[in-house]
Amino acid sequence: MQEQDSTATAAEPPQTDIYCEHLKKCLMNICRVIQNTNDILCNISHPSVCSEVLLSSRGTDYISEVLEVYRISKRIEGGMRALRVSDDSLWLMLRDIELLWNNLQAFLSLCPYVLQRLPPLSFPVCKSDSRLSDSIQCLQRCCGVCLLGERQDEAGSRDGMLMYRENLYHITCANFWINCVDLNLPVLHCPKICSLCVPEEIQAAQDPTKDI
């Protein structure tokens, strides 16, 4: 029986791999949304028609929604820094998203009025929690989509957080996930070494250096 348990444990993927797969799924869909927007605008033959589309109420609302999707990528970047994610493929995906967004801004420059109507971009500030000696991010205090801590998204963001089944989510992150990724919101578990999730009495029992 013990051998079966040890085999099952060994077969479980490392926690960092689970985080990376989750973030990869997010970034792939963010990339797809912004790429589709670029493709739509590229297929408009005349700049005057493109301007007319962007200046319409539906066009402006659509671009505002794409902006919120791009903002999620910046939150993910902040979450990756807080979690010290070093997966090169994820950072390359973030770079690709940045290139796509810059290309989209070239289209938006045709309509300065649209740019003025868009909400200002604000980027998360990555702050480490002094209670975590190993700088591991506590996922119980993070958005379940972007993995950014609730206290770290302070750069002028007006997006609130909601609690669903004891998990936190930014409202726009949750909307993005449900509409573009999966109908079920993700639930990621905190690393076992996180001192904020493990009660002190359990930590004391697990610490062989402490006297009982």
Does some domain include residue 147? Answer: yes
Does some domain include residue 5? Answer: no
Task: Compute the mean pLDDT over every residue in the chain, rounded to the nearest whole number.
Answer: 76
Does some domain include residue 4? Answer: no
Per-residue pLDDT for 7 more than 60?
no
Q: Which of 51-60, 80-89, 115-124, 181-190 has the lowest mean pLDDT?
A: 115-124
Q: Tell me, letter by letter, the H, E, C secondary structure of the chain.
A: CHHHHHHHHHHCCCHHHHHHHHHHHHHHHHHHHHHHHHHHHHCCCCHHHHHHHHHCHHHHHHHHHHHHHHHHHHHHHHHHHHHCCCCHHHHHHHHHHHHHHHHHHHHHCCCHHHHHHCCCCCCCCCCCCCCCCCCCCCHHHEECCCCCECCCCCCCCCCCEEEECCEEEEHHHHHHHHHHHCCCCCCCCCCCCCCCCCCHHHHHHHCCCCCC
Average pLDDT over residues 18-31: 93
Per-residue pLDDT for 64 more than 80?
yes
Average pLDDT over residues 2-24: 63
Does some domain include residue 99? Answer: yes
Does some domain include residue 101? Answer: yes
* Number of domains present in the structure of the chain: 1
- Residue 1 — very low, low, confident or very high, per pLDDT cuts 50/70/90? very low
Q: Quick one: pLDDT at residue 201?
A: 42
Domain that holds residue 112: 14-206
Per-residue pLDDT for 182 more than 80?
yes
Q: Quick one: pLDDT at residue 96?
A: 97
Per-residue pLDDT for 195 more than 50?
yes
Does some domain include residue 24? Answer: yes
Does some domain include residue 119? Answer: yes
Convert the pLDDT of each residue in 132-168 to its tens digit: 334 445 677 789 999 887 665 554 444 678 888 888 8
- Residue 14 — very low, low, confident or very high, per pLDDT cuts 50/70/90? low
Does some domain include residue 77? Answer: yes
